[in-house]
Amino acid sequence: MGGQAGETELPELQAVSGPLTKAAIFLLVRVDAGAEQTVKDLLADLPGLQRTVGFRGLGDGLTCVAGISSGAWDRLYGGPRPAGLHELPVFEGARHVSVTTKADLLFHLRAERMDLCFELETLIMNRLRGSVTVVDEVPGFRYFDARDVLGFVDGTENPTGRGIAAAVLVDDDEPFDGGSYVVVQKYLHDMASWNALTTEQQELVIGRRKLSDVELSDEDKPANSHIALNVITDDDGNEMEILRDNMPFGRPAHDEFGTYFIGYAKSPAVLERMLSNMFVGSPPGNYDRILDFSTPHTGALFYVPTVDFLEEPPAAPPEPETPAAATPTGSSLGIGSLRRSPRS
């Protein structure tokens, strides 16, 4: 629908703020040398592929969010960069260390049915096979009433309504407004050690009641609980929110039980502050107790462009021309024109 004259047409956004679903696939890949145009073509066609598969399950909410890493940005698009795009730092505390994974692209597929995610991923990989190297692939599932495999409800504090856009959409970085930043981490849990705790001990680690999902009071909630260290506020005391779409995953026959963390925010600074609190501690040394039972195996930061950007990326600025050599003066050999460059 067209707006009135003088109105700014809003960009079409990727489905960052989509609702929690019953199924998801998290796919990380590296772009092979020389395959940049193949990848750009796939990213431009991604909305069409999503519609093609999604039509087979109308109402099942199939979406796919694509994110681009700092290392891949210049190779794919060049030109201006999103202001906050960089490699995810490693956060090292006295006891626990985070992981940074070399990945160029994130594909976050989700739907109410795994077959839709599976089919869309198949179409994506049919286009990219031979052009990318798969770094990690994790299928996730809804576990009972949105609980993780540790038994606690996950994502309770997600923003809602208008608060979602305020938390996750860039609004101060033209021409990248409407995009978002996303951090992913794959955690594996030591279930034997976790299950050796009593329910009350587990609640002190998380900061919530296990059955009711009610947050512990400030008096009862330890300073090193997961909830306490993941509440980030600005200088005015306002809470800075992120949108989590975490999913459990696992292979019980292989003793593999995990949580795939995925958090969207308008600035990576919020996500990185949370990770620093968890691994380094706030204050340093007061690390997140959940890390004694959950170990990260991957970690990466991506920028999520708008659909408009993926379909019609701006042309990269031309390379500056090398200036022609100046005609020497002072003698035919130019000896008289030589100057010593000042030290920098």
What band does 237 get if pLDDT is binned at 50, 70 and 90? Answer: confident
Q: Does residue 11 fall inside a structural domain?
A: no
Task: Give Cα 21 distance to the centre of its chain.
Answer: 17
Per-residue pLDDT reduced to its tens digit, 144-198: 999 999 999 998 889 999 999 999 999 999 999 999 999 999 999 999 999 999 9
Told to judge if 154 belongs to the known catalytic residues of this protein, a careful annotator would answer yes
Pairing label, strands 63-68, 105-111: antiparallel
Host domain of residue 229: 23-315
Reduced to 3 states (helix: H, G, I; strand: E, B; else coil), residue 341 is coil
pTM: 0.89
Whole-number Cα distances in Å, 170 to 49, 181, 308, 338: 26, 8, 15, 51
Q: Does residue 1 fall inside a structural domain?
A: no
Which of these is catalytic: 104, 148, 154, 288?
A: 154
Q: Does residue 337 fall inside a structural domain?
A: no
pLDDT at 344 over 90: no
pLDDT at 299 over 80: yes
pLDDT at 333 over 50: no
Q: Does residue 114 fall inside a structural domain?
A: yes
Q: Does residue 320 fall inside a structural domain?
A: no
The residues that bridge with 133 in the sheet, in sequence order, are 30
Q: What is the rounded distance in angstroms from the CA atom of residue 219 to the CA atom of residue 225?
A: 12
Task: Give Cα 114 distance to the centre of its chain.
Answer: 21
Q: H helices of the chain, where? A: 36-54, 70-76, 114-128, 162-168, 191-195, 199-206, 226-229, 268-279, 307-311
Q: Which two tokens stand for residue 184?
A: 């992913």
Q: What is the DSSP letter of 97?
A: B
Q: Does residue 109 fall inside a structural domain?
A: yes
Q: Does residue 187 fall inside a structural domain?
A: yes
Per-residue pLDDT reduced to its tens digit, 63-109: 999 999 999 999 999 989 999 999 999 999 999 999 999 999 999 99
Residue predicted with more confidence, 79 or 324 = 79
Q: How many domains does the chain have?
A: 1
Q: Does residue 8 fall inside a structural domain?
A: no
